[in-house]
Structure 1
Amino acid sequence: MNESEFRLRLEIDDTVLQIWIKQGWLVPETTDGGPHFRDADLARGKLILDLVNAMGVNEAGVDLVMDLVDQLHGLRATLRDLTDAVCHQNPDVQEHILSELYRLERQSRR
């Protein structure tokens, strides 16, 4: 979606959007027609609005939350890649990895 549609859907003005982009909370795709916002950007915008308006989180808090969200997404992508890599291994290697995971899980419960 373009910038105008994005602002309309979130009911924010241009100044707010520019601050969010400057802070790095949103990183729209750059196209010949200007910035392009994805559904993920819209979800991030809604989260920012909830943090600021509903929860009263300040700018530093939003920075922290958005950084943690980005880390979480990065870890999920890494885990997905690792899972795919394990699935492409021989069954005996897969079984060895699973048994090691179970061992570590039991150990961490102690």
Structure 2
Amino acid sequence: MTRSLTEAELIEAVQNLTSERLSRFLSARIVIPRQSDQGLVYERLDMARLQLACELDDQYEMEPDALSMVLSLIDQMHGLRAELREVLRAIDAQPDPVRSQLVERIGTARFRRS
């Protein structure tokens, strides 16, 4: 199990993250910390999301709500990539004639103009 981070540990670990910036990001629900006996705690995934949010904010001066939307789109993209990997594994597991037919059909559909 991964160790959770306190707010102070998180701010120390994430470059350019301040308490004020974290408050803005929390309001925009960029991360949703978990409540524990020690107060709010953050996971490693939260740390990565906040690092990316800080970088995007620094580079593009994005509003927290816009950052939240961009991160949501990135999350969706990662989910779709994971689903596509599963589809590709399923295709790869098929016998050669079926796999060839699927590859041909997918290629045709990909380049078909509607």
Q: Same fold by TM (over 0.5)?
A: yes
- Of the candidates 54, 59, 69, which is equivalent to residue 54 of structure 1? 59
Equivalent in the alignment of 1:6: 10
Q: CA deviation at 1:22?
A: 4.4
What is the RMSD computed on CA atoms of the aligned residues? 2.7
Return the TM-score normalized by structure 2. Answer: 0.72
SS at match of 1:92: helix
Look up the match of 1:88. Answer: 93
% same residue: 22
- Contact 2:30 / 2:71 at 8 angstroms: preserved in 1? yes
Partner Cα separation in structure 2 for residue 31 and residue 80 of structure 1: 35
Give structure 2 stretches of 5+ with no counterpart: none
Comparing 43-52 with 94-103, which one deviates more in the overlay?
43-52
Any idea what the Cα deviations from partners look like across 1:21-68, whole Å, max 9, x if unmatched? 443312456667662421x43332122112222211112311221121
Residue 104 of structure 1 corresponds to 109
Moved more, 20-29 or 93-102: 20-29
Structure 1 portions without partners, runs of 5+ = none
How many residues are treated as equivalent by the alignment?
Answer: 108
Higher share in helix: 1
What is the CA–CA distance in structure 2 between the aligned matches of 1:18 and 1:59, rounded to whole Å?
A: 10
| Structure 1 contact 2–35 (Cα < 8 Å) conserved | yes
Q: Report if aligned partners of 1:6, 1:42 keep a CA contact under 8 Å in 2.
A: yes
